[in-house]
A = this chain, B = another copy of it.
């Protein structure tokens, strides 16, 4: 039937799992991590440097949830100075492309949004 209806209808079930997934993906750092991993495989500390400003705790937490959801692949080499590599699963790559598209759209339209805010402020 109407796709909008279905999406909206499901979206606010009290236990809606889609919303939870979306929160993981669009969380403050989830999006940045996905986009970074679209470039290439990263090690933990590497990724932390790549995504500026993320704390160790939040990076670990973000990677954990993305891994649980099946978007990120964690490869632990079991070596003695720890060595772990993170990459995207095929499903994660698909998702990341969508997320990147949204991010790029926003990035390119940011000036227009800022202009709209100015106009709003003046018009009241």
B22 contacts A117, C-beta separation under 8 Å: no
Q: Tell whether A116 is near chain B: CB-to-CB under 8 Å.
A: yes
Q: Tell whether A57 is near chain B: CB-to-CB under 8 Å.
A: no
Total number of A residues with any Cβ neighbor in B under 8 Å = 56
Q: Tell whether A77 is near chain B: CB-to-CB under 8 Å.
A: no
Q: Tell whether A59 is near chain B: CB-to-CB under 8 Å.
A: no
Smallest CB separation, A99 vs chain B (Å)? 7
User: How far is A35 from B2 in the complex, measured between Cα atoms in Å?
Assistant: 12
From known contacts A17-B114, A50-B8, A114-B17, infer whether A25 and B106 are also in contact, taking CB-CB under 8 Å: yes
A120 contacts B36, C-beta separation under 8 Å: no
Q: Tell whether A46 is near chain B: CB-to-CB under 8 Å.
A: no
Q: List 10 A-B contacts (CB under 8 A).
A: A7-B103, A8-B32, A10-B107, A12-B52, A17-B114, A18-B106, A19-B28, A22-B26, A22-B31, A101-B101
